[in-house]
Structure 1
Amino acid sequence: MRYKLTVAIILGAAQLCGAQNALRDFESFRDSLFSGYHRYRQGILADYESFLRDTWHDYQIFKAPDSNNIPKPDRQPSMPENATMPDMQIPAPAPEQPPLPESQPERPDEPEALPNMPPLGGRMTSVDFFGTNINLPLIDIHPISNTSNNNVANYWRDLNDNASAQSAIDLLKNAIRKYDLNDWLAFKLAQAYAETLFPARQASDTRIAIIQYLLCNIGYDIRLALYDDGLTLLMPFTTTIYARSYLELDGKRFSIFFDSASAAKTITGTIQTYSLPYDKNTGYSFNPIFSQPPMLVEKPEDFRLSGAGITITGKADANLREILSDYPQLPVVDYTKSELQPELRNDIARQLKMQVAEMDEMTAVNTLLHFVQKAFNYQTDDKQFGFEKPLFPEESILYKRNDCEDRAIFFGMLIRNVLNLECLLVEYPGHIGTAVCLSDSSATGTYYMVDGKKYFVADPTFEGADAGMCMPDFRNINPKVYRFD
């Protein structure tokens, strides 16, 4: 018995020493992670409780902007048999540039993520994040009792005084880094975490308060607001967010987000919120672009798409259906800037390069164009989802149904990755297509002259049409054009 006790003491001491060393390593990591962040936000977090305690003012809610007010056709348009298209130039303006985001503080360089390390004695909870289990501290705190500004300020103070909440800030930041989450998924992780801590439907105000506290402390300019006696989130983005009400505050557009238990996206009237000082950096806006794919559990799903005599096969990540189910609606050109499954896209390009290798350029362009026209079933977003939802190429593969902007995004990806040709996104009233810059000087058909180059109309929704063939309704339209990234 004495021997066993000695071993237990030695092992316990060794474990304690190891835990203390690991904790010191994690604290060193945390300190380096937040040193730059604390420098540029000095004064904001220290005084945030007082900002919340000040009088909240009414702000006008603005109507959610629409990406395109003209409805899309219910049926896929097709090229009439034996129809010919004139060789003509349609005037087009210079390519539009999406609005530049407001100047943001430079994000400090971050070290690589370390395994989640709770403080000694800290309890953890497992957050199911789209099938990936992420361990975060169990924050032992009471629900918020009411939504008066003083009570909201008191709740912020209580979270400041809560050791597990402080650990949660560090570990949430670490998880975002570890799993390569973009800003939108960082918000979704904070939301899933709050739902794990307070799952009751009536705890919506508590969840909102916790999400805002955590993300604000991580470095985002996310704010609280009061609408119809309930707390909401105000989130600025680096690009336009459609189909969601917003308010203008401190020169920024803040989109309004409710608790996940609410389906509300558009509201009217006024909303109350507090003011932050103009002379301080209040944090980052949310960038919804995926600069790298998230490192989350994948659910491989076989697919096969055929059309125009060519076929592609592979495995798409079915988990993206859920991950992107409530992804905010962005300008269509922004969907060309993200890459969710680069290996899949590379494999598709490899397969198609082999199948068009012996074709001349125009034949290859038309083959890819007819492939996209035939490979997917045509269905508007309203019929498929009940709301407007542009699809990433990976989503088009998974759903196998799409409409004009989804096909334009998909075809643009193929033109660039398979044939290495320049491509424009072409936006007409109620319709989106593409235009391709051909190296063949003898090419004929309808084109746009942009920066001294001919871009021939290529419409992946206009079934049967070749490159250079424009829908009759749009021949005299001066469209907006955007460059693919």
Structure 2
Amino acid sequence: MKHLISLTVLATAVMAGSTALATPDMSDYERWRATTQQEFQNYLDENDKAFIGFLKQRWESVDTESGNEEDTAPKPTTIPAAPPTPTPKPAPTDDPQNKPLTSSQDDSKDTPVANIQNRPDTAKPESTPESEPLLKITGPAADIDFYGHPVRLPYNTAMTRAFSVTPSSESIASAWEALARSDFRPALEQVRSVKASLSLSDWATARLITDYAHAVARTADSRVMLSWFMLVKLGYDARLAYNNQLYLLMPADDDVYGVTFFTLKGERYYALPLDGDVRIAGQVYTYGKQHGTASQPIAFKTPERFTGAGAIQKRRLSYEQGGDAINVVVRYPAEQINYLNSMPQLNLPRYPILDLPASTRTELATQLTPLLQGQSEEVAVNRLLNFIQNAFDYQTDEQQFQTENYLFPLETLHYAASDCEDRAALFALLVHDLLGLPVVLLDYPGHVAAAVAFTGQVKGDGIVYNGRQYTVTDPTYINARAGMTMPQFAGQTPEIVTVF
């Protein structure tokens, strides 16, 4: 056991820099560290030795492809408004709770929603964890402002000049060897510590490595080289490719849209926008056999838990409900918007499941709860529909961003306007979070709506999915209630997207 502990310390505790001579004023630990650094500088594990040998061999050429957009059908540029809701007649007091409802029965009390304020998952406290250094950094270190979180990571001389020659299999193998022989372990362990303390997803981890490479390495190719090396050492199936420059590509556990990729052994490797948009034309050279420790794709299907810190932004959303003016104020970390904006275009199901920051979630629930509490499920859903239909301006992505740009729920709360899939994602999250009802998305060509599974019967348009009745709910169709389909999509069969 003592031998195991000593190996663990040896693998994690040596600081960056060149070998130092032991002096009488050093502590026992510092003298031990100084005398063992040279061993690290000359050490290559078996995986590195095998990988370097493979990198020196001839690389194969692969054709790159341009990523397609997820939905190329044109979206409506103007949105129709549904007819006004007729004034309902009072329901008899002896009506059973499960009486079938129509979309005009706004005062019905079929199934009152739960006491939302007492839902255990609607008021999670905001946490802004700070990364605690695993090691005491005494050598050179990079100070990084990672979306409002201060992060300090050590580096060594080899990292600053990771790659400075013409790309070739030999030059890349030599650069890998130089990095592998350097004392990279303190930086690697510090990254792991930050990853745990800030709840970094795979994407956030890759972004941190990119920021680190920018702070440390001197040239564009050196930054790609260092990022590749660190991501492989963290276990990711990061892959290097080159023509007249170096490129970093990675596989994902889901489709990624709008980015260049190549296919190798049936796996797509994406030029993800870790350092801005990357476009590769024609052929590139890459290697076929990966490092023995690197097999993990970037996981986008796992919901994000990372939240940016720093300055708080505020937005006021105004609309009318039953003749009353309603104002909803939301606050959120501005850096979280920057982080979400860094992500590539993903599959539609990835968007509703990304929760709001805890404080934003609580603030929004607190303000919407009085409008929903004590109402029937149908009335509560209709009020959420009214909120999203009328508190947000409508613009297509092409009008607002000049390109397709699905928004996460927090982005919909932030940006001046939104379109159908953005509203559907936010609506689905609120229905799930505040009402606890099952909800799916309805993906038409050029339009996205939603559908809710009510406890009781609700009249109007609906679908049966997995043996359960879902009622159409369209948060883009102005003033539409549950059961109403936007006229231009009536009669069409949408793809059903499971989210909650």
| 8 Å Cα contact 1:64-1:242 kept in structure 2 | yes
Q: Deviations over 1:307-359 (max 9, x none)?
A: 34244323211112211222111111111232241332233223322222232
| 8 Å Cα contact 2:313-2:331 kept in structure 1 | yes
Equivalent AA in structure 2 for residue 305 of structure 1: L
Q: Tell me, in whole angstroms, the C-alpha distance in 2 between the residues paired with 1:69 and 1:63.
A: 15
Q: Tell me, in whole angstroms, the C-alpha distance in 2 between the residues paired with 1:258 and 1:450.
A: 36
| Aligned equivalent of 1:117, options 128, 132, 135 | 135
Corresponding position of 2:154: 137
Alignment partner of 2:186: what SS? helix
Q: Tell me, in whole angstroms, the C-alpha distance in 2 between the residues paired with 1:296 and 1:458.
A: 32
Q: Tell me, in whole angstroms, the C-alpha distance in 1 between the residues paired with 2:133 and 2:367.
A: 38
Q: Tell me, in whole angstroms, the C-alpha distance in 2 between the residues paired with 1:382 and 1:289.
A: 26
Corresponding position of 1:399: 415
Normalising to structure 2: TM-score of the pair?
0.77
Corresponding position of 1:353: 369
| 8 Å Cα contact 1:424-1:434 kept in structure 2 | yes
Q: Does 1:155 align with 2:175?
A: yes
> How many angstroms does 1:45 deviate by?
3.7
> How many angstroms does 1:453 deviate by?
1.9
Q: Deviations over 1:171-226 (max 9, x none)?
A: 22222222211111111111111111135xxx111110000000100110001001
Unaligned runs of 5+ in 2: 1-22, 34-44, 87-101, 103-129
Q: Tell me, in whole angstroms, the C-alpha distance in 2 between the residues paired with 1:282 and 1:290.
A: 19
Q: Does 1:319 align with 2:338?
A: no
Equivalent AA in structure 2 for residue 133 of structure 1: P
| 8 Å Cα contact 1:44-1:282 kept in structure 2 | no
Q: Tell me, in whole angstroms, the C-alpha distance in 1 between the residues paired with 2:320 and 2:498.
A: 27
Q: Does 1:184 align with 2:203?
A: yes
Corresponding position of 1:50: 53
Q: Tell me, in whole angstroms, the C-alpha distance in 2 between the residues paired with 1:19 and 1:408.
A: 59
Distance 1:390-1:117 versus aligned 2 partners, 3 A rule = same
Distance 1:419-1:259 versus aligned 2 partners, 3 A rule = closer
> How many angstroms does 1:118 deviate by?
4.7
Alignment partner of 1:159: what SS? helix
Distance 1:449-1:333 versus aligned 2 partners, 3 A rule = same
Alignment partner of 2:423: what SS? helix
Q: Percent identity?
A: 28
Corresponding position of 1:366: 382
| Aligned equivalent of 1:263, options 277, 280, 297 | 277
Q: Tell me, in whole angstroms, the C-alpha distance in 2 between the residues paired with 1:16 and 1:320.
A: 43
RMSD: 3.0
| 8 Å Cα contact 2:315-2:414 kept in structure 1 | yes
Unaligned runs of 5+ in 1: 1-11, 24-41, 88-111
Q: Tell me, in whole angstroms, the C-alpha distance in 2 between the residues paired with 1:449 and 1:402.
A: 29
> How many angstroms does 1:287 deviate by?
1.0
Q: Tell me, in whole angstroms, the C-alpha distance in 1 between the residues paired with 2:406 and 2:354.
A: 13
> How many angstroms does 1:281 deviate by?
6.3
| Aligned equivalent of 1:61, options 56, 59, 64 | 64
| 8 Å Cα contact 2:452-2:471 kept in structure 1 | yes
Alignment partner of 1:75: what SS? coil
Alignment partner of 1:244: what SS? coil
Q: Does 1:465 align with 2:480?
A: yes
Normalising to structure 1: TM-score of the pair?
0.79
Give aligned pairs, total.
Answer: 421
Distance 1:259-1:206 versus aligned 2 partners, 3 A rule = farther
> How many angstroms does 1:440 deviate by?
2.3
| 8 Å Cα contact 1:207-1:259 kept in structure 2 | no
Corresponding position of 1:303: 315
Q: Deviations over 1:117-161 (max 9, x none)?
A: 156x52222122223221111331324222111001100011111
